Structure 1
């Protein structure tokens, strides 16, 4: 157990060092959501909501967009490790090679929580006015962390099954469109009827609505348990998928 714990710590440190050295990717993961928030608030916000409070509506969606964009880099990092031969080297050592995946996931969680805090800080500067209590803030941050962990594991599994970092980037990028087809930027009832069904019953919408409710100090109704079920189911599926994919790659 001690050896397993030490191995995981080493690989988490390795992934964190890689994140710090890749300054461009780190800045992009932070700046892109900020630019989108400024774009929607100052350019589109007046047309979408003339009352001037659109920033309070859009910030929860931007938070998840930031988390998803940051988590997507995990697919590329895992695919790089799986194709450059480093995993074969790790398997010859008296360590658990799967710890390299755990390291990527843990580093992504830490990196994206920092990026999320920066995005929230900028949101407060541009007029975001949450009315959440301390407990509601803790619940909102906990849900964001669960969302990041869930989609990081999903992107890690994608990185394991793809044949190259470029392919992993492409598949991961496709998932980043989900927030645009949710209640992140506009209420789903304003969408065409044929799109509302998908927008209301995909995993992003209940997570966004729960965070929005928590930050505004209002009841989350059914969205809270729906968000937990979605995240829990996807997380379990991604971890199983990743374990199977890693074992299959190890036999190749």
Structure 2
């Protein structure tokens, strides 16, 4: 497997010498499954032909979100996102270096559009002023994600896709960024002790209306994220019975 640029910084231990592409791919997907154990039940609602793609696509989004919002120092994440810009531009030209490209690069999707949205994602590390600003910071990436999903999952596309992707991105930002994801306006209004809870409540209330035009994987991801926001610990996985019920309703656009 070829390496380049800041690939050594951009990769986890899965991308180390001695590991085959298949092992590295399984490691990235396993990392996503570890954060979303509910998927073992929810993926049964995804059409079989889309399951491998959905897993790789979910893992890629997790890598991008962790690069943008994880850690105290912004510089490593900026380097990773810069590496991903080059990688995704290569995908549209038939080249790949990252193990996730084994599944995704061969798909006819607007990878260049996704690459163009990543510099905006790097800027989204700045703490938002309020809820509207938080949505504004991720709407460019959400729009690119929605365009990719139209291609990957033969979805109809539309505003609902962007709204669902935005909701998932804001939840991912909360997981990766912690208190830094909470808008300043809520911090001023609710104080340090209540700001996170106030932001979680706002995210719960802002759930986009499900639509049958949105791909099944995206409906499932949005439903699971929204259900987690109702738990005492918004980062905690759902119990199996709740995960199955949530996935059933999400798959049907309810």
Class of the TM-score when normalised by the shorter of the 2 chains = 0.3 to 0.5
Whichever structure has more helix as a proportion of its residues is 1
Question: 1 or 2 for the larger relative contact order (CA 8 Å, sep ≥6)?
Answer: 1
TM-score, structure 2 length as denominator?
Answer: 0.36
Bigger Rg, structure 1 or 2: 1
